[in-house]
Structure 1
Amino acid sequence: MDARTKKLHLKREVGLISAVCLIVGTMIGSGIYMSPEWVLQYLGSPGASLVIWAACGLVCTIAALAYVELGTAIKESGGEYIYILRNFGPIPAFLFSWTSVFIARPAGIAAMSLSLAQYIAAPFYVACLPPTFVVKCTAAASILIIGIINGLHVKLATRIQNIFTFAKLLSLLIIVTGGVVLLFNGQTRSFQNAFQGTAAGFGSVGIAFQQGMWSYDGWNNLNYVTEEIRRPEVNLPRAILISLPLVTLLYLMANISYLAAMSPAEMLASDAVAVTWGNKVLGSWAWLMPLSVVLSTFGSVNGSFFTGGRSCYVAAREGSLPDILSMAHIHRLTPLPALLFTALIALIMLIPGDFESIVNYFSFTAWMFYTLTFAALVYMKIKRPHLHQPFKVPMLVPVFMLIISTYLVVAPIVGNPQIEYLFVFVFMLCGLLIYFPLIHFKLWAGSLGQATVFLQLLLEVAPTQANLD
């Protein structure tokens, strides 16, 4: 292997516009078009639901700023995995990669692909629901297409992300504009006595908060690709400060528009609130809303695939997964094995069926690791004060996020205790049975050697190093 191959690493192809589009394009998915009724259901009043949507945006912005400090101090890709690894060691980092790479990320991709497939297939089955087999085949095709796009070239994936981001911003602007027109026409019934009937219990607020946060999911995705961002110390904070306020404002205005067009009772009865809004407001142009859901979901799947593959890639590079997953294509400079592995797990997860509940149950595990990540920032500030940090937040920020993230883990368990939460903890702990024999003692190293060489030759990939230039 020559010197050029030994120094192989991912290229810095993500500029400021692409960084903004990666965050916005991943955050704005099917959630804002389909799930606002769940926040309203758990809180019981329009006013309280709008407060939660604003609070979710504020919390995500504060959390993202904390991540900016981590990302500019530790200029490695991998997000939570690399920050936990560098501060708390390999065992908690492995548990994160075990949960994220094998369950949470592929399950999210599979669930979004099923949602995408449902809307793609719907026009061909006007009189009935699309057959499950058709929906699953369409979802599988979308995963394969997006996997190929991401495997071909980083620029291709980011350009597609940019295009779909602008398309979904346009669709949200249609909703916002329609809402403004409705408000000027005096449709404000939903905002009279807006806080009447509010359910302010510990559990109900926590569950509603998690439902809102699901629609904001993706605020941390840029930290998974730090090594591919041009001038990360500049573009990482700029992208966050542009993206998060923009998405928060759009989400708030979209919810106001929904409430202007529908009563709270009509929202709660809707399966897809944006589609119902389109039928009420757009008339013959109502087809724009299902199309918007397709575009938004495709962009979200592409963004999740882009960053999810990097999470798997970095975990393998640090020794938590087989070496083959840490390699990149020698010509295209994409983490091809990690992308293929993510696609394979997502395709397997399509087989059983409904992933909406699985993703919901695993969303609270994400906040467990967010909690650990904020703790890592507190630890870094105390134990490594002389570490070069181009961007700093006050100590109050990670401490505040520690409290919030702990609440988001505990509140759903208290408010709606279910045996599935125990299953999640058991699955995480099972990772220890994998870690010690296979990772710590490296019992699989010999048996995987020949398979690694074969896959290297087949996929034209080679080992990489971190891009810290």
Structure 2
Amino acid sequence: MENNERRKEYDQQDRHCDRNQDMCSSTDGVNGTALQRKVSLISGICMIVGTMIGSGIFISPKAVLFHTGAVGPCIGVWVLCGIVSTLGALCYAELGTMITKSGGEYSYLLEAFGPVPAFLYAWTSVVVLKPACCAIISLSFAEYSAAPFYPSCEPPIFIIKCLAIAAFFLLVIINSLSVKMASNVQILFTGAKLLIVVIIAIAGGILLAKGNTQNFSNAFHGSKTSLGAFSLACYNGLWAYDGWNQLNYITEELKNPYRNLPLAIIIGIPLVTVSYVLVNIAYFTVMTPVELLQSPAVAMTFGDRVLHPLSWIVPVFVSFSTFGAANGCCFAAGRLILVSGREGHMIKILSYINVKRLTPSPAIIFNGVISIIYMMPADIETLINYFSFAVWLSYGATVLSLIVMRFTRKDMKRPVQVPIIIPIVVLLMSIYLVFAPIIDEPSWEYLYCMIFIMSGLILYVPFVYYSFSWAQRIIKPLTLHLQLLMEIVPVENKEE
């Protein structure tokens, strides 16, 4: 009897939403069920910093050194990447305060260029980029968490994969239960990772003051001058900075976005840039360039040489760092899926939220399932490398949308407006990063990536543009049963 009543209730909600295009009444009497603005400025800064500082700065800055060839240009690349990330984030601040929908690049491409580019971006991000990124971060967490229990050998791959799956499953549960809980997790682990960064930076500063400056003499000797090599160095540096756009995925849940979005960017990204530069300088006070290139995990080597007998804190805090980054990735990916589902570019149920907890649990669970699938193969990093240039392809297209809307949407409210030269510089940088590796070292992987992106049109034409009725007949009963099971309803598009 109770199930019949709940079924009637959800039927009424579904019919109401069909009439009002995703505007629905909640079961608690409030005028609409929507994502709530619970993310504060502090939480926003922690979302940016916590997602950016993952495993990259602790494990493999040697990739930047390998492609630059010397200490001087290596440090210069870290500074340049921080500047580029800051300029890109400022462009996103204008977009995020102009279009206050969640979803990041998807929402901006949809507004500027229409549904097809937005769908292709969502298709690439939802199916590959976001879940594969979550998978790699989770596997990094598992590897460093298991390391103390296997001091004389590498942890078994089966143990690493099981631990990674369990950790990300826990994050899916946390993010599905409460936005506040997920934000608190982000704040906690951001504090932990900043602590280890401060420890490494202070230790390096002390060694530098004691005269350990030999690795900085002739800092530019042996530098590589190839444009392709420089672009690959920037790729690796920018990968460590990736996450500077995370707050744009959750604009609808950010308190006072017109103030807090740009403020979080201005505080968060320079903080990460300074941290990265100081940490790299600390590495070079202890290791020569050759030793750094031979180190499997730079932070571990630094800890063994400087922090002994407390070197065990390095794997512990790297685990904290990667866990926090995985939480931020999970949080943002769920919002991208929700918004693309709300626009009809994904299955409709992925745009629903829990009627009691007001979290996008279907989208979070969907991303979690795909991410866990990506954890099972042996080499996820190869897959990410195939698609890494697609990230800056999307950034370039998004910044181009900002430039285009300066001329086509002059009437839109712009609480934050950056000088036009900034998006132009970021656009030129993205074009360089996309094409320089292809020109310098042509590879089939770039062609495979473009084929995969364009293959989204095979799905877009029948299922989105023509909206096959037989598919709707299959999906609608399943949606109804999942609504009853998960207590979810369509979300109101809450845009200020």
Structure-to-structure mapping, 1:68-467, within 5 angstroms = 68-443=93-468, 444-467=471-494
Output the amino acid matched with 1:4: S
Distance 1:42 1:415 in 2: 13
Distance 1:40 1:350 in 2: 28
My pick for the range that moved more, 330-339 or 118-127, is 118-127
Distance 2:300 2:154 in 1: 16
CA contact (8 A) 1:171 1:289 kept: yes
Displacement of 1:362 in angstroms is: 1.6
Distance 1:415 1:174 in 2: 39
Q: Secondary structure at the match of 2:26?
A: helix
Q: CA offsets, 1:424-448, max 9 Å, x none?
A: 1111111000000011111122221
Q: CA offsets, 1:159-184, max 9 Å, x none?
A: 01000001100100000000110001
Output the amino acid matched with 2:189: F
CA contact (8 A) 2:147 2:315 kept: no
Displacement of 1:363 in angstroms is: 1.9
Q: Secondary structure at the match of 1:285?
A: coil
Distance 2:324 2:431 in 1: 30
Cα RMSD of the aligned pairs, angstroms, is 1.0
Distance 2:435 2:249 in 1: 26
Pair 1:416–1:115, CA change in 2 (3 A) = farther
The two structures have a TM-score, normalised by structure 1, of 0.99
Displacement of 1:412 in angstroms is: 2.2
Distance 1:290 1:416 in 2: 36
Displacement of 1:352 in angstroms is: 1.5
Distance 2:315 2:440 in 1: 33
Distance 1:327 1:36 in 2: 40
Output the amino acid matched with 2:234: F
Structure-to-structure mapping, 1:43-62, within 5 angstroms = 43-62=68-87
Displacement of 1:450 in angstroms is: 0.6
Output the amino acid matched with 1:84: L
Distance 2:310 2:440 in 1: 41
Displacement of 1:356 in angstroms is: 1.4
Distance 2:192 2:220 in 1: 34
Output the amino acid matched with 1:453: L
- Which structure has the larger Rg over C-alpha atoms? 2
Displacement of 1:354 in angstroms is: 1.3
- The residue that corresponds to 1:64 in the other structure is 89
Distance 1:228 1:33 in 2: 31
Output the amino acid matched with 1:45: A
Distance 2:328 2:90 in 1: 20
Output the amino acid matched with 2:260: N
Q: Secondary structure at the match of 1:468?
A: coil
Displacement of 1:414 in angstroms is: 2.6
> Structure 1 vs Structure 2: percent identity of aligned residues?
46
My pick for the range that moved more, 245-254 or 113-122, is 113-122
Distance 2:76 2:152 in 1: 39
Displacement of 1:360 in angstroms is: 2.4
Q: Secondary structure at the match of 1:308?
A: helix
Output the amino acid matched with 1:452: T
CA contact (8 A) 1:206 1:415 kept: no
CA contact (8 A) 2:148 2:315 kept: no
Output the amino acid matched with 1:214: W
The unaligned stretches of length 5 or more in structure 2 are: 1-11, 14-24
What count of residue pairs does the alignment treat as equivalent?
469
CA contact (8 A) 1:224 1:310 kept: yes
Distance 2:178 2:370 in 1: 21
The unaligned stretches of length 5 or more in structure 1 are: none
Q: Secondary structure at the match of 2:163?
A: helix
